[in-house]
Chains A and B, each alone.
Chain A
Amino acid sequence: MHIPDGFLDAKTWVATTVVGAGALSYSLKKVREEFNERLIPVMGVLAAFIFAAQMINFPIAGGTSGHLLGATLATVLLGPWCSGLIISTVLIIQCLFFNDGGLTALGANILNMAFIGSLVAYGVYKLVSGKSRFEQAAIFLAAWSSVIAAALVATVELALSGTVPFHVALAAMLSWHFLIGIGEGLITVVVVSYVRGVGLKPTWQQKKA
């Protein structure tokens, strides 16, 4: 879902860069407040894992593919602000070193995938996971919703830029990402149980409880 250069007009990319940078600095502040030094390698390894997983495009239908976003994965394990920070770092590296996502669209990509993705994931996860037997359903739904939300915001940005009319892009974006979101949900459920299985505990939840 990485927006390249040229899809967003100047007012939209400037505005999303400002908002994206604001979200990034707020997340740095939040992470610093709650910081636990022992979490540094955990954050690093989750970011590395998400980078690697984002390279694995999986086919969905009709010659289209999707790849993991990872916002729910990081949010369930480390909380939404830490997740936002991790995904932003992944996006910055993808943009600077691999030409994935444009430099002018970096703010928009950070906003959509790192922050909208993580905050929506957090909201849905909190809402559904109240009872432990719904844990996996909560993770799946959170992951699916994070993809849909990011796609929706990207559609708004494209429409504001005059690149494509909103009503034209909406159905197309949502239908492809409906399927990509299912992939996101399945991968996230499997990876979260794997990560917990090798001994990683969701520290932020223990602290809050």
Chain B
Amino acid sequence: MNTKKTVLILLLSALVVAALLSPFASSSPDGLERVAEDQGFLDKGDEQVLSSPIPDYLFPGIQNEKAATSAAGVIGTMLTFGAVYVLGRIVTVRKAKAETKLQSTSK
């Protein structure tokens, strides 16, 4: 099986997980939140420095919470794929340039 097909299958799997499973995730506090709650320092985390466009994985403007989570999941998954893809391109372009430079100086 070629890499392209593999990547496509995995991207689709990621989107399925983000779109269809994320609305059913547990809403209980995670390990750190739970410890913060039990030890009484959870309220220290209330002061946030940055406001995010999609806070708490709920896409704004969608009334249905499950649909809002699903939309946030799909957007985040695509965004992550895109970010790493662009980062990888930048790294390779730089590497290619560096190699060309090296070849031309060695002549």
Contact = CB atoms under 8 A, between A and B. Distances in A.
Contacts of B3: 38, 41-42, 199-200
Given A48-B81, A98-B52, A163 B44 contact: yes
B31 A177 contact: yes
Contact of B81 (A2, A47, A173, A200): A47
Contacts of B2: 199
Interface in A179-203: 180, 194-195, 198-200
Given A5-B48, A198-B10, A32 B34 contact: no
B32 A52 contact: no
B14 A52 contact: yes
B31 A48 contact: no
Contact of B30 (A31, A64, A96, A163): A64
Contacts of B57: 55, 98, 100
Contacts of A7: 36, 41, 44-45
Contacts of A42: 3, 6-7
A79 B40 CA distance: 39
A99 B52 contact: yes
Contacts of A102: 45, 48-50
Contacts of A95: 50, 52
Contacts of B34: 63-64, 172, 176
A92 B5 CA distance: 28
Contacts of A172: 34-35, 38-39
Interface residues of A, number: 70
Interface string A157-169: 0000001100011
Contacts of A85: 87
Contact of B55 (A41, A66, A99, A180): A99
Contact of B5 (A35, A63, A93, A199): A199
A5 B19 CA distance: 28
A49 interface: yes
B38 to A, nearest CB: 6
Contact of A57 (B11, B25, B41, B88): B25
Contacts of A1: 30-32
A117 B88 CA distance: 22
Interface in B75-100: 75-85, 87-89, 91-92, 94-95
B46 A6 contact: yes
A172 B88 CA distance: 39
Contacts of A93: 76, 79-80, 83
Given A40-B92, A44-B85, 8 more contacts: A1-B30, A35-B91, A53-B17, A164-B39, A172-B34, A173-B32, A176-B31, A199-B2
Q: Sort A-B residue pairs by CB-CB distance and give the 9 closest, nearest first.
A: A40-B88, A199-B1, A4-B45, A52-B18, A176-B31, A99-B52, A48-B81, A65-B26, A65-B28
